[in-house]
Amino acid sequence: MKDKFAKLGLFSLTQTVFQIGGVMIMAVSILAGQTLSDSPTSASLPLSLVIFGTFIGLFPAAFIMRKLGRKPGLLLGTSIGIFGALCASYGLFSHNFYLYTSGHLFFGFHQSFMQYLRFSAMESVPHKDRASALSWILIAGIPAAFLGPMAGLYGKDLFRDQIYLGCFIILSFALSVQFVLITLLPQINKDIEKEVASSTNEATARPFSYHIKNPGLWSAIISSGFAFGLMVMLMSAAPVAMKSHGHHMHSSTLVLQWHVLGMYIPSFFSGFLVKKLGQSKLILVGILVMLAEVFAALQGTNFLPFAVALILLGVGWNFMYVGGTNMLVDQYHPSEKNMIQAINDSCVYMLATVSTYSSAYLESKVGWFGLNLVAIPFLLMSAVTVVVYMKSKKKGFS
């Protein structure tokens, strides 16, 4: 038991350091981009390239993980992230928007490797503990909720003549700490791999046509993808919307902190909810919470509606994402995991790329209220796929 807690604690700490950088990027990237470009579309380009870099790097990352192993892949990804942070830093220092933007792309490549940290944690414990392992990874976002926005707030003026440069210097340092922590992570236990492999009677990979027809896979991908895409769209647009409605950066930083807490505090009990409610019902609860977020956002542009909406956005994302990820793990055999995990994350980040790139532009065109209304049809579509999957289970899809 102590060994399990020590192991998951190290995974959780590594995830915390990783997410400090990710949260800070979300908080300051568009605002820093506005200092280099006046166009709403261009200002959100660097942040969208983080998501795009993650998207196009997922299959190469999966291939490298399969050939070299989890830990060497994570170390390589972190090295790419450090290079990207340094590129973005020099881009701000030299007022070069394209170099600043390319740094974000490399940071996205790094994130494509780090997506497999959660699967590594889930594979490091017995099958019965995997929901708890995912919760440990998500709980890591709680300290990141405070430290990420704080890094952005204090890094913003760290160098008087170079606004926001300090943020990316801090990012470079955090990634260096992340590199050290990854070297300490345990390798995947061979006995646990055998346990997972023995949990199914079929050792060989099933044809791709099976997965295409599997409603469980579609439900998992759509639930995680829409949750992630809507979350990053509204989360990244919130600082811009608050600024346009007269709020200072301190207020948007506070809202962002509460949002990230909303994302990760439910992880203390979401593992229990997966066992109690099941994956499908947890996703449906998450959809209802996301719809409540839209209602809260439409109540006005004062501080309180922003804060309540972003908290609900985080909670809804957590339920949909935890439910979708646990559902995904049930859809593949051990021999299929690299392919299915890469397909899932590619779809998720393709949706997130479009969402992030359009967030600042849509906010400037349709406003904060209109941006929230965009979420409704996607949430309803996600609910339909979950209901279809639940019915297919009753009919015994195989």
Q: What is the pLDDT of residues 86-97, one digit of tens each?
A: 999 999 898 899
Helices and strands counted in the chain (H then E): 17, 0
Query: pLDDT tier at 78 (50, 70, 90 boundaries)?
Result: very high
Task: Return the closest-CA partner of residue 328 out of 215, 238, 252.
Answer: 215
| Alpha-helix runs per DSSP H in 69-207 | 70-93, 97-114, 116-123, 130-139, 141-155, 165-184, 190-198
Distance of CA 352 to the CA centre of its chain: 9
- The pTM (predicted TM-score) of the whole model is 0.71
CA-to-CA distance for 363 and 354, rounded, in angstroms? 14
- pLDDT, tens digit, for every residue of 141-171? 788 878 888 888 888 888 877 888 899 999 9
Helix (H) or strand (E) holding 206: none
Is pLDDT at 200 greater than 50 in this prediction? no
